[in-house]
Structure formats: structure tokens, C-alpha cells
A and B are shown apart, each in its own frame.
Chain A
């Protein structure tokens, strides 16, 4: 008996001690470098290699710009390729492979190309490369590309001379310049692509960017090496390894061991711990992604404006941001982030007013109505937000049934087929950072994302902003649109997502990118 007891005690003690070791206090910082006993070096020494822990998995086995719409692709590939137009980390447009451009008329844009630029394989960049890139996207190869729909306003691209091209548009597209900084418009090397073939190019891409790909292990990592012939500011760190670590706990562990220098997406629960650590820089950044509770207005009772307004008043988005998101979100008044062109700062976020909500529900005769809410089953945060919304709505007399579903199923089938309940939690990337991208696709008549919403004034304002190249006219039209959408309320804007990055204190030059595109050329790590 004694032996058995002592053995159990031993086992319990061992388990407890292991747990204590695992959970014990201590610095969460990356491992400090060994302290040198001799005097400190006079100049800073930099590491040759920078390691990044990406929250994303693999970009689905392809680095080809026209195969993708994934952030997993963009965050790395913006260092491999350049577009004619570049969008900096400040989200402002600037010349990329084109040095200047001008509108010849509403449907013709001329670009002057940068000279002396070479692709990673030594092939020269010129007008032929631009023509080839867009002919491929708009031709048979692009037929199955998720990028095609972003560029359908382009009829063709023609060469004027070796360093001048003209974009001939089918229709005026006020956002085309922004779109040319997008994934599908990254310029690829024609000769290399044609010689090596599509399959080889997928895993051995060649662009003109500050880094070139030297090794790629699917679902594991991609290794980049500085391009010594880069036309712009050359990369300061010789080698970058981007590791795909989708599991939050693993990414945090890797950061704590110092195995990665930059961590993408600090889990909400870890933010405060890391903020308290002086060896860590925590970098929150508001991105282009906004979240809303969207209605299927073909279904009763959310077909009634009063019910939709009541739901809007019943939800306390600020508390959701402060608690569930631990402050990592921003209140929004329309379905766009504060960096979006068309955001209306004069329109205040919807007030939290449960009394008013109750009144509206009584007026609409909807008290006790049962509402289905659909949301992604994969994101814990979304589940918690859905639960909070259910609780808020219960307080004002509405009953909510929670329906967690596969995210691809939700956006790929259920929403577009009108099977996503009375309302669903919906995130929108808004990658062009122009409200047109969101507003046209979500609110104009007969769109796949919201086939039932149709408002004459909304359509009129959308047409107005789409048929003008005057930024002032467009901006005013979109601001008016935000007001009209508040009146018609096809959705309740909830928050703008704030992504949190972390780096070790020795990492310099890294700016947390609001669009996830890591600009790695200026980044260094001191030894």
C-alpha cells in the first residue's frame, strides 16, 4: 500500500513539476544573446538572416501572381515582385516599375517604365514584360484566375516603345491605378515563364523585387535572398526565412525561444504579456479588414427597417472591442476601415441604445422573433462575438440561434445562395482601400454578395462615384453613400480589425503592415 501510495505521489509530483516548469513565470522574450564579458563592440553588427513566423499556411503551392488572392501570398510576394504602381506601407500609391503615368483620355492610360531594371534571372524589364503579364492575365491562362475579375475593365495593354505602354480600357475604372498595385498586376518575366513553364514557375518564381526565392518547402517555409541588382533601396539583410506557422501557440513558442525575429498576429490573449516585456516590441496596426453583421433582407423580420435598426442599436460594439478583442479593434461607422478612401469621419458609429432598440422592436411587432445567425466555425473570436450579439439581442427581446459553419461554405455557397440565416458575421478585406471595392460589390443591385438589397439612391450614388475620375466627386458620393446606408441599414458595421505584430527588440526598420504586405528590404536584426 505504501509503495503504491508513494508511487502515485511521485507521479503527481512529477506531473505538477512539469506543469510548473511549463507555466512558470519568466521572460517571454526571445532568448537574450549571450552576454559578452569583454567590452561592447564599437559598431553594431547585423545578422545575416531574418526569420519571420507567418500566421498563414502555405500560399497553396503557387507563387504565381494570377493563381491567388491569399494574404499568405501577398505578405511574401510583395518582396519578390513589383507592380507598375507600388503601395507603400503607409498605403499611399507611388511609382513602382512605372515612373509616371497619365490619362490620355478616360479609356487610355500611358505609363512610362523604369529603365535599367532586371528580373532575378537577369532578363531585362521592359514594355514586353508588361504586355506579356497582362496578356496572360486577360487571355486563356487567366480564365481560371481569381485575379481576373479585378482587371476586367482593361481591354488590352499595348507597347508604344520599349519603355512606354498604354492601357486601353473597356470602360472607365476610377480605381485602376490602385488595382495596378494589386496581386494580379505584378510583373513577371516573359522569357523565363515561357521557357520553364507554369508548374516550375509556381514554385520557382522570378520577379524584379528586392528579394528572390532560393528555396521553398510547401507548408513549411520559403527562403529569400537579397537581390543585389534591385533597382530601389537594396535589402539590408542577406537572407530571409518566412516560416508558415498557422498554430498560434506554436508561433508564440517559436518567438519566445528566439527562433523567429518577427511574429505575425499575436494572439489576443498574449498581447498584454508581450507588451509588458521590454525585450519585445508589440506593433498593433489597423488593417483594411472590417467586420459587420449583414442581413438577408429577404427574410422576415429583418426585412423590416425597424428591426434592422433595432439590432444595430442593441449591439455594444465598443464593449465587444474592449473585451473580446482586448482593445484590438476600432469602431467604424460604415463597412470600411479608417484608411479607406470614402470613409466618412463625420458619420458617428451607431450608438448603443437598448431602450431605443426595444421600442423599435415593439413598433415592428417583432418581439420574441427567432433569428438565425451564421458565422465561421473556425475563428474563436467570431464565435465569441456571435455569442455576445445573441446576448445583446436577447436583452431587447429577440431570440438568436447560433449557426457555426465552415468559412468557405459560408462565403462560397450559403451567403450567395441566401442560405446564411437572417444575418451573418462577415469580414471584408477591402484590399484596394477604396470604398468602391466594398460598396459596389455589397450594395449595388443584384450583386452576388447581397442579391436582395436594392435601393435606388444607393445605386445612383454608386454610379456617380464609378463614372468619375475626379477624387472629390467620388469621395463626396461615397460619403453620401455611407449616410444612405445608415438609413437603409443592410448591415451593422461592427469594427475594423487591428492586427498585432511583435518583433524582438533587436529588429530595426520593420513597420507593421496594415495590408499584411511585409516590406522587408529595410529590416535588420542586430547581433
Chain B
């Protein structure tokens, strides 16, 4: 188990290194950011040169790359081109907002998807199944910004139950979390339903029933646990993606998360901030991928994590 984890961590570090290189070169392909940073004035050649020097952009590319990688090795993501402050604390500062929304959205989605998915499979073809499938179809079909704005119009503008946007407390979280949760739950519902349908056809489920095990136990202990594996993979990867910021929803609900920061950084040609945001997201994804793989062992003892087949 331990050698496996070490191997996977090393593998993850290789992935992160590759991503660092890709993001580094891609950003520099977009051209010199100095003119954008200096705005709509008429900077002299000296001003442009001074800015390039101050930002290290006058150095040869290989030297910029070495500095970038050595800084990274010490956990330094660089200094923002815009506000001249270290990138890392600014990213970390945004994490609580992003994590709150990501976990709340995921919680909503599981609360909705698990019971609907299970019941759709168990009562296949019945009303609950039709409702579940219609719900999933609607969820997949709606763009999240549209759903967000519709919920805002209904619950904030018309009914006045909730605030439309902002980041000031629990009630401000409800609309973005529900929007995110409903969109996610539509996919998870379908996933659970099909996984459950597969599992319910297995012989061990029939055996359990034949032995007279209570239906509830058959469904939740025997079937659902086995149906969880694809779901956990999906949920894990989705959570990783959400922790990188839900750019559009953050924009719609004025939610000050990592996504908005990254989006602004891209618009503003703030290379260190973009690099930092991408790397942070990648690190979260790599870590969650590993965590998901390790979880398999707990969900299904037959899967030996790191063991030989």
C-alpha cells in the first residue's frame, strides 16, 4: 500500500510538472503582456523596458522557465503582475468561498441524486423512475447560468425569499449551491440508476433475496454499496473540478471564488496568477484522483489498491 502511494505521488508530481510546462509556454505564446498591463496610455520605450525588467520578462525564456520551476519547488507561485503581491496567499484567500460552494453544491446534488437514483432503479418504469429521468434530462439540458438566473428571478426577485447574489452568509449560499447541485445531480442520478440496475441483476442480489434478507438491506447494503464505485469516481473528479472554481456560477452569483480570480487573471494577462490558479487546480485534481483510487479498496474489498492482480 505505502509503495503504491509513493509511486502514485511521484506520478502525480510528474503530471504537475508537465502541466506547469504547458501552462508556462501557452501563456507566453499569447504575446507580451506589458502593453495590456500599462493600459491605454502611451508608455515610453523606457517605461516598457522597465516594466519588462521588473516582471522578469526581459530574461531569455529558458531563464524565466528555470526561475518559475525553482520558485515552484519552494512553493512560490510568483508575484501578481497586476497588484504586485504574492499569488499564493491571494489564491488561498479565495479557497474558503470556492470550497464552501463546491461542497454545498455536491451535498445538494447527493441529497437529491442518491434517493432518486436508487428509487428509479428499484422501481424501474414506475412514476418515480419517469420523474427521475425527466428531472435528469432537464438538469443536463439546462445551462447552469440560465438555471441560476431563473432561480434568482423566482426566489429572489418574485418571492423575495432569498438574496439574489453576494457572499455574506448562509442564505447567500442557497441559490448558487442549489443551482450547482441540481445540475450535478442530474448526471449523478443517471449514473446511480444505471449502476443500480446493473447490480440488481447480479446473482448475489437474487441470492440475498432468496435467503429472505429484507428488501431494504438488499438495496442499501448489497446493491447500493456496489453501485457506488462509478459514482465515487465521478463525484470525486467533479469535486476536484469544482474546487478549481465554478467560473460561470461565481460570476452569476457574484461569488468571490478562485474561478473569478482565474478568469480575471486570464483577461488581465496576469501570468503568475493564471499559472498559480491552474497549478492549484491541477494539484487538487491529482490529489482527488489518488483519494478516489484509494477509496475503491474500502468500497470493494476485492479491489486491492496497489496489489497485484
Q: Which residues of A line the B interface, CB within 8 A?
A: 3-4, 7-8, 11, 15, 18-19, 21-24, 26, 31, 57-58, 60-62, 67, 69, 143-144, 146-150, 152, 198-199, 202, 217-221, 243-247, 249-250, 253-254, 256-257, 259, 378, 406-409, 411-413, 416-417, 428-429, 440-441, 447-449
Q: Would you call B305 an interface residue if the criterion is a C-beta within 8 Å of the partner chain's C-beta atoms?
A: no
Report B-chain residues with C-beta under 8 Å of the C-beta of A57. 260, 264
Instruction: Name the distance in Å between A27's Cβ and chain B's nearest Cβ.
Output: 10
B40 touching A428, Cβ below 8 Å: yes
In the complex formed, the residue of B with least CB distance to A141 is B84
Inter-chain contact A146/B134, CB cutoff 8 Å: no
Docked-complex contact A69 and B254, CB < 8 angstroms: no
Assuming the contacts A245-B165, A245-B254, asked whether A257 and B156 have C-beta atoms less than 8 A apart, the reply is yes
Tell whether B149 is near chain A: CB-to-CB under 8 Å.
Answer: yes
Cα–Cα distance between A41 and B205 once the two chains are bound (Å): 74
Indicate which residue in B31, B47, B138, B252 contacts A149 across the interface (CB closer than 8 Å): B47
Query: Are B264 and A249 neighbours in the complex by a CB distance under 8 Å?
Result: no
- Determine the distance from Cα of A176 to Cα of B193 in the docked complex, in whole angstroms: 71
Residue of B nearest to A221 (CB): B166
**19 additional A-B residue pairs with CB within 8 Å, beyond A60-B264, A219-B94:** A7-B134, A8-B134, A22-B158, A61-B80, A62-B84, A148-B43, A217-B256, A218-B90, A218-B256, A219-B260, A219-B261, A221-B166, A249-B252, A253-B153, A253-B165, A259-B166, A411-B36, A413-B30, A449-B42
Most chain-B CB neighbours within 10 Å: which of A58, A148, A219? Answer: A219
Q: A257 is contacted by which of B43, B50, B51, B164 (Cβ under 8 Å)? A: B164
**Do residues B54 and A144 form an inter-chain contact, with CB atoms below 8 A?**
yes
A interface footprint on B24-59 (CB within 8 Å = 1, 0 otherwise): 000000111101111111111001001100110000
A412-B158 in contact (CB<8A): no
B82 touches A62 (CB 8 A): yes
Query: Nearest CB to that of B163 among chain A residues?
Result: A259
| Contact of A144 with B254 in the complex, beta carbons under 8 Å | no
Q: Which residue of A lies closest to B34 (CB)?
A: A412
B179 to chain A, nearest CB (A): 12
- Looking at the complex, which one of A22, A143, A199, A417 makes contact with B85 (CB distance below 8 Å)? A199
In the assembled complex, which residues on chain A have CB atoms less than 8 Å from the CB atom of B150?
18-19, 22
Query: Cβ of A143: which chain B residues have Cβ within 8 Å of it?
Result: 47, 50-51, 54
Which 9 residue pairs are nearest across A and B when measured between Cβ atoms? Answer: A412-B36, A69-B39, A219-B256, A413-B31, A149-B41, A22-B153, A62-B83, A146-B39, A61-B83
Report yes or no: B40 in contact with A247, Cβ–Cβ below 8 A: no
Q: Are A412 and B269 in contact (CB under 8 A)?
A: yes
The answer on a CB contact under 8 Å between B130 and A8 is: yes
Residues of B within 8 A of A (CB): 30-33, 35-44, 47, 50-51, 54-55, 80, 82-85, 90, 93-94, 126-127, 130-131, 134-135, 138, 149-150, 152-154, 156-160, 163-167, 251-254, 256, 260-261, 264, 267-269
A448 in contact with B42 (CB, 8 Å): yes
Chain A nearest Cβ from B115, distance in angstroms: 17
Contact B156 A408 (CB under 8 A): no
The CA of A199 and the CA of B261, in the complex, are separated in Å by 18
A144 near B84: Cβ-Cβ < 8 Å: yes
What is the CB-to-nearest-CB distance from A265 to chain B, in angstroms, rounded to a whole number? 15
Q: Which of B44, B51, B94, B253 contacts A250 (CB 8 A)?
A: B253
What CA separation (Å) do A493 and B134 show in the bound complex? Answer: 53
- Would you give 8 A-B contacts (Cβ < 8 Å), ordered by A? A31-B160, A57-B260, A60-B268, A67-B83, A69-B40, A219-B254, A219-B261, A253-B156
Q: Does A146 lie within 8 Å of B37, measured CB to CB?
A: yes
Q: B130 — which chain A residues lie within 8 A by C-beta?
A: 4, 7-8
Cβ–Cβ < 8 Å partners of A146 in chain B? 37-39, 41, 43
Assembled-state Cα–Cα distance A55/B55 (Å): 30
Residues of A within 8 A of B156 (CB): 253, 257
B41 near A150 (CB under 8 angstroms)? yes
A-B contact count (CB 8 A): 174
Contacts of B126 in A (CB 8 A): 3
Given A4-B130, A143-B54, residue A202 in contact with residue B83 (CB < 8 A): yes
Give the chain A neighbours of B256 by CB distance below 8 A. 58, 217-220
Name the residue of chain B whose CB is nearest to the CB of A246: B251
Contact B35 A202 (CB under 8 A): no
Q: Could you tell me if A220 and B167 are in contact, using CB atoms closer than 8 angstroms?
A: yes
Q: How far is the CB of B240 from chain A (nearest CB, A)?
A: 22
CA distance in complex: A24, B150 (Å): 12
* A19 to B142 alpha-carbon distance, docked (Å): 13
Chain A residue with Cβ nearest B149? A249
Whole-angstrom distance between the Cβ of A374 and the nearest chain B Cβ: 14
Query: Assuming the A-B contacts A7-B127, A143-B54, are A250 and B30 also in contact, with contact meaning beta carbons closer than 8 angstroms in the complex?
Result: no
Judging by beta carbons under 8 Å apart, are B31 and A218 in contact?
no
A298 to B41, CA, bound (A): 23
Query: A11-B131, A149-B44, A246-B251 known; A409 and B30 CB under 8 Å?
Result: yes
CB proximity of A292 to chain B, nearest CB, Å:
14
* Cα(A410)–Cα(B256), bound, Å: 27
Q: Could you say which of A15, A67, A221 contacts B138, with CB atoms under 8 Å apart?
A: A15
Cα of A417 to Cα of B39 in the assembled complex, Å: 16
A152 to B264, Cβ gap below 8 A? no
Q: Which of B51, B83, B85, B138 neighbours the largest number of chain A CB atoms within 10 Å of its CB?
A: B83
CB atoms of A250 and B152 under 8 A apart: yes
Which residues of B are found within 8 Å of A407, using beta-carbon distances?
Answer: 267
Residue pair A247, B254 in contact (C-beta under 8 Å): yes
Give min CB distance, B172 to chain A, whole Å: 10
Instruction: Find chain A residues with CB under 8 A from B254 CB.
Output: 219-220, 243-247, 250
List B contacts of A250 (CB < 8 A): 149, 152, 164-165, 252-254
> In the bound complex, how far is the Cα of B38 from the Cα of A441, in angstroms?
14
Min CB gap B146→A, angstroms: 10
Q: How far is the CA of A253 from the CA of B145 in the complex (A)?
A: 14
A31-B160, A61-B83 known; A7+B165 contact, CB < 8 A: no
Instruction: Tell me the complex Cα distance, A81–B113, Å.
Output: 53
Q: Which B residues are in CB contact (< 8 Å) with A243?
A: 166, 254
A148 to B260, CA, bound (A): 28
A147–B47 alpha-carbon span in the complex (Å): 10
A416 CA to B253 CA, complexed, in Å: 36
Residues of B contacting A61 with CB < 8 Å? Answer: 80, 82-83, 85, 90
Distance of B281 from chain A, by nearest CB (Å): 17
How far, in Å, is A416 (CB) from chain B's closest CB? Answer: 6
Contacts of A3 in B (CB 8 A): 126-127
B235, chain A: closest CB distance, angstroms? 26
**Which residues of chain B have C-beta atoms less than 8 A from A245's C-beta?**
165, 254
C-alpha spacing A152/B47, complex, angstroms:
10
Which of chain A's residues have a CB closer than 8 A to the CB of B251? Answer: 246-247
Q: Which residues of A contact B134 (CB under 8 A)?
A: 7-8, 11
Shortest A19–chain B CB gap in Å is 7
Contacting residue for B269 out of A147, A378, A408, CB 8 A: A408
Q: Are the C-beta atoms of B43 and A149 separated by less than 8 Å?
A: yes
Contact between chains at A253 and B152 (CB < 8 Å): yes
Within the complex, what minimum Cβ distance (angstroms) separates A435 from chain B?
Answer: 15
Nearest-neighbor residue (CB-CB) of B81 within chain A? A144
Contacts of A440 in B (CB 8 A): 42
Distance in angstroms from A132 CB to nearest chain B CB is 19
A67 proximity list for chain B (CB < 8 A): 82-84
In the complex, A58→B273 CA distance in Å? 15
A144: nearest residue on chain B (CB-CB)? B54
B83 and A408 within 8 A (CB): no
> Which residues of chain B are within 8 angstroms of A428 by Cβ–Cβ distance?
40
Give which listed residue, A148, A408, A417, contacts B268 with CB less than 8 A: A408
